[in-house]
């Protein structure tokens, strides 16, 4: 690894705590911490945001790398596929993501792998499953006890309130069952009426015909109705009252109260940097231009895809002919037939519900049933594009989403103080960012397109080939690129280009705002699970390397999807047929044979594609990063950054470019030491990495901490750390 920096000129004044490296007698690496330690002892205080960066208390830019913890948090520990959806009031999520007694093993493993920035997943259902205002105190105490352990392992986290497709009871995860019942849905009628696809949350989703279907649930009646009522019930469902309260107020107030309870439970813990308001928000029917179709470019079309109008009819108990879609080339999917859904005429609506068994959208005059023609009739085609009360055109972001974001931040920051960071995100697969003015410590979390597009990983699950056509099958459906090139280098370059465009699009729309790629991952069962029998995960490693190279070149932080110790080859992550965890406890050594130090190689057992996942990175940079490049197969990387020096101030304060970040108005820098995480792997450097200074500065490698430290001498600093190769094992081999 060669490390270099060039100086730029702007003025700063030393302030705040001083790192020991500011002492001229300081020996690099003599501080007691390690590069990827985000405890306050290592960072001088809580992390904060400035421009597009996270900073520690010394003003160093923090390169955050970590995991989603984890996929198991979507389902309760007493989940019973045979009785679902019954018993939803008595579920428990205590023990998700793993039992408290197992925490030292898993936290030590994440620390060893340099993944000490955690997106900690909770669900509304986990906190409030028993009913409105009834909170699971045992669960809140459990997650508090777990997160309280994080600083011991150098781990920091943000708590993500997770949801997919609204709820487990509409085919995803998130909201408790009583939210759907309050609107009038019959939980037992949702699947048969086509209002939701539930097979994936009942243990299915593994066979070809079921693979990757769950994201289509966003367009189905249950999830789309719930999202519409949640964001804009006042505008589009004003007749719907829940216990005398307008449905929007009922749902939003419940969510705000739940969020406040969560913040009260954990916000005072030093490891908690902030909270994420909602995973994968969706507008439902809001702004839907036609009741007869969805947008092919943004909404996944796979298997049976009823239009909004067809969903209304199905939910009302009318058998309806619906188009069927299948995977195709060169377009990701294509229509290949049709079929009649809900032949038995099952209704999605409860007769004893607030709509008296009628479709909510029929109650509001959006459509009706013509008894003479025995057919449905659209009455208000443009109902969801303009406010029915005012006639004004609606915009989901400005009219509904951001007003709620403001309310949510006030509630969460009430018990947790203003220093907590709010993480928000755009609608998946759209990149239609809109400004969020007037708030500090707000982080835009952009979904990495590979994940949210679902086509290339969840649906195709094919290898990156050496030919252009094979490669385009894997990626074009997600990125809609017409400029792909083949092979591994082409994959890396294509990911880098697309991700840079996404990140720079965020900077262009929102200004200098930190960007975190919240979910990015590779399916372990790609190519029909052939790696499970061959133990050769080569294609997964190559695809992961291509993706992470793009992230590194864009200089953004990320949390990989996902770390799930319950993962196994047959059931994957035990949710909707997914198999993304690159760790499986089934392949690991028993805890009794492990020790939990940073340099404990036994912790690596159970990991998959660690050569691609565990990578060097600049953790704490005494300056502003400009470029990072890592070559997995050769064992080198290059890092360049601007070293702040006193002098003439630069005038540039904003930039939409990844390559040319603003270099003025940086807060005072009170540390001269840059810390770089280096994987401590037996196969990477059998005799340890070597380091040397090339510029008169000082550089050293801390053996037990598995990192390199560099103290600049003057304006130009260069150091070199080189290994014989870069990964944990031969590319593709399962460790």
Report whether pLDDT(441) > 50.
yes
Kindly list the strands in the beta sheet with 53-55, ordered across the sheet, starting from the edge strand earlier in the chain.
48-50, 53-55, 61-62, 617-621, 673-677, 707-711, 698-702
Q: How far apart are CA 665 and CA 583, in angstroms?
A: 42
Mean pLDDT of the chain: 85
CB 312 within 8 A of CB 361: yes
CB 42 within 8 A of CB 606: no
Specify the pLDDT at position 315: 99
Of 519, 552, 640, 675, the active-site residue reads 519
Q: Quick one: pLDDT band at residue 42, thresholds 50, 70, 90?
A: very high
Q: Tell me the DSSP string of 164-178.
A: BSSBGGGTSBSB-HH
Q: Render pLDDT for 616-670 as a digit per residue (tens, 0 to 9).
A: 999 999 889 998 999 888 877 788 888 766 544 444 567 889 988 988 788 889 9
The more confidently predicted of residues 605 and 701 is 605
Q: Quick one: pLDDT band at residue 447, thresholds 50, 70, 90?
A: very low
Specify the pLDDT at position 587: 82
Of 280, 425, 673, 720, the active-site residue reads 280
Report whether pLDDT(687) > 60.
no
Q: How far apart are CA 328 and CA 14, in angstroms?
A: 59
Specify the pLDDT at position 442: 67
Q: Helices (H), strands (E): how many in the chain?
A: 16, 27
Q: For residue 552, which phi and psi values (nearest 5 degrees)? A: -65, -40
Least confident range from 22-26, 81-85, 266-270, 726-730: namely: 726-730
Report whether pLDDT(456) > 50.
no
Report whether pLDDT(487) > 90.
no
Specify the pLDDT at position 149: 99
Catalogue all structural domains in the chain, each as residue range(s) with its CATH number: 2-14+34-61+614-722 (2.60.40.1180), 181-220+288-383 (no CATH)
Q: Render pLDDT for 414-430 as a digit per residue (tens, 0 to 9).
A: 866 778 898 988 888 77
Rg (CA), the chain: 26
Report whether pLDDT(254) > 90.
yes
Task: Kindly report the length of the chain.
Answer: 735
Proportion of the chain above pLDDT 70, given as a percent: 81
| DSSP bridge partners of 638 | 2, 629
Long-range CB pairs of 51-57, under 8 A, 24+ apart, other chains included: 51/512, 51/513, 51/514, 51/661, 51/662, 51/665, 52/507, 52/512, 52/513, 52/514, 52/515, 52/661, 52/662, 53/514, 53/624, 54/514, 54/557, 55/667, 56/620, 56/671, 57/16, 57/17
Q: How far apart are CA 30 and CA 133, in angstroms?
A: 51
Count of CB atoms within 10 A of residue 645's CB? Answer: 17
Least confident range from 256-265, 605-614, 633-642: namely: 633-642
Least confident range from 382-386, 516-520, 562-566: namely: 516-520
Q: Render pLDDT for 274-285 as a digit per residue (tens, 0 to 9).
A: 999 999 999 999
Q: Quick one: pLDDT band at residue 292, thresholds 50, 70, 90?
A: very high
Report whether pLDDT(64) > 50.
yes
519 is catalytic: yes
CB 105 within 8 A of CB 99: no
Specify the pLDDT at position 681: 62
Q: How far apart are CA 57 and CA 44, in angstroms?
A: 5
Q: Render pLDDT for 329-377 as a digit per residue (tens, 0 to 9).
A: 889 999 999 999 999 999 999 999 999 999 999 999 999 999 999 999 9
Specify the pLDDT at position 723: 57
Specify the pLDDT at position 454: 32
Q: Quick one: pLDDT band at residue 721, thresholds 50, 70, 90?
A: low
Report whether pLDDT(14) > 60.
no
476 is catalytic: no
Q: Render pLDDT for 27-41 as a digit per residue (tens, 0 to 9).
A: 877 876 789 999 999
Q: Render pLDDT for 127-181 as a digit per residue (tens, 0 to 9).
A: 999 999 999 999 999 999 999 999 999 999 999 999 999 999 999 999 999 999 9
């Amino acid at each position: 690894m060669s490390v270099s920096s060039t100086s730029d000129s702007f003025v700063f004044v030393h302030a705040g705590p001083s790192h020991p490296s500011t002492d001229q007698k300081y020996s690099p690496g003599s501080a007691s911490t390690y590069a990827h330690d985000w405890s306050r002892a290592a960072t001088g205080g809580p992390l904060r945001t400035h421009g597009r960066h996270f900073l520690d208390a010394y003003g160093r830019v923090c390169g955050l790398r970590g995991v989603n913890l984890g996929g198991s948090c979507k389902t309760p520990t007493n989940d019973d596929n045979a009785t679902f959806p019954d018993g939803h009031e008595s579920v428990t999520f205590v023990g998700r993501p793993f039992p408290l007694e197992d925490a030292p093993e898993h936290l030590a493993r994440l620390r060893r792998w340099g993944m000490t920035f955690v997106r900690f997943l909770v669900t509304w259902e986990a906190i409030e499953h028993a009913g409105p205002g009834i909170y699971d105190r045992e669960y809140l105490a459990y997650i508090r006890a777990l997160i309280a352990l994080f600083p011991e392992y150098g781990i920091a986290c943000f708590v993500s309130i997770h949801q997919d497709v609204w709820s487990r009871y509409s085919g995803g995860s998130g909201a408790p069952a009583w939210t759907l019942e309050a609107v009038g849905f019959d939980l037992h009628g949702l699947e048969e009426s086509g209002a939701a696809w539930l097979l994936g949350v009942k243990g299915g989703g593994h066979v070809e015909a079921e693979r990757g279907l769950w994201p289509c649930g966003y367009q189905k009646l249950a999830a789309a109705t719930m999202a519409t009522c949640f964001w804009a019930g006042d505008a589009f469902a004003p007749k719907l009252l829940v216990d005398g309260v307008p449905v929007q107020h009922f749902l939003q107030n419940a969510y705000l109260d739940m969020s406040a309870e969560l913040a009260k439970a954990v916000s005072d813990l030093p490891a908690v940097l902030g909270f994420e308001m909602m995973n994968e928000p969706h507008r439902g029917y809001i702004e839907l231009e036609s009741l007869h179709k969805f947008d092919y470019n943004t909404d996944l079309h796979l298997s049976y895809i009823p239009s909004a109008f067809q969903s209304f009819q199905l939910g009302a108990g009318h058998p309806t002919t619906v188009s069927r879609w299948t995977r195709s080339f060169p377009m990701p999917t294509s229509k290949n037939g049709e079929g009649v859904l809900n032949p038995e005429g099952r209704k999605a609506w409860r007769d004893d519900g607030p709509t008296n068994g009628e479709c909510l959208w029929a109650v509001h005059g959006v459509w009706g049933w013509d008894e003479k023609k025995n057919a449905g009739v659209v009455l208000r085609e443009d109902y969801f594009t303009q406010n029915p009360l005012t006639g004004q055109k609606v915009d989901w972001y400005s009219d509904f989403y951001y007003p709620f974001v403001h309310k949510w931040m006030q509630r969460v920051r009430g018990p947790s103080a203003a220093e907590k960071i709010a993480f928000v995100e755009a609608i998946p697969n759209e990149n239609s960012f809109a400004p969020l003015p007037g708030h500090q410590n707000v982080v835009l979390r952009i979904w990495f397109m590979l994940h949210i597009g679902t086509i290339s990983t969840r649906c195709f699950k094919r290898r990156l080939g050496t030919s252009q056509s094979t490669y385009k099958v894997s990626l074009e459906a997600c990125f809609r690129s017409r400029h792909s090139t083949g092979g591994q280098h082409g994959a890396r370059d294509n990911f880098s280009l697309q991700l840079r465009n996404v990140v720079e699009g965020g900077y262009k729309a929102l200004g200098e705002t930190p960007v975190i790629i919240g979910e990015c991952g590779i399916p372990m069962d790609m190519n029909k699970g052939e790696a499970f029998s061959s133990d050769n995960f080569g294609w997964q490693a190559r695809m992961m390397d291509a993706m992470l190279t793009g992230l590194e070149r864009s200089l953004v932080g990320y949390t990989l999807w996902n770390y799930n110790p319950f993962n196994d080859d047959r059931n994957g992550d035990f949710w909707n047929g997914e198999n993304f965890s690159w760790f499986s406890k089934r392949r690991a050594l028993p805890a009794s044979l492990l020790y939990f130090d940073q340099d404990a190689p036994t912790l690596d057992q159970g990991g998959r594609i660690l050569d691609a996942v565990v990578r060097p990175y600049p953790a704490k940079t005494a300056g502003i990063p400009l470029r990072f490049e890592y070559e997995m197969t050769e064992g080198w990387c290059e890092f360049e950054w601007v070293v702040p020096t006193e002098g003439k101030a630069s005038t540039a304060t904003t930039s939409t470019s990844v390559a040319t970040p603003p270099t003025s108005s940086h807060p005072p820098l009170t540390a001269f030491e840059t810390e770089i995480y280096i994987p401590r792997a037996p196969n990477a450097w059998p005799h340890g990495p070597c380091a040397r200074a090339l510029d008169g500065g000082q550089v050293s490698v801390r053996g037990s901490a598995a990192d390199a430290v560099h103290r600049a001498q003057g304006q130009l600093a260069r150091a070199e750390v080189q290994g014989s190769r870069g990964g944990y094992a031969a590319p593709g081999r399962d460790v």
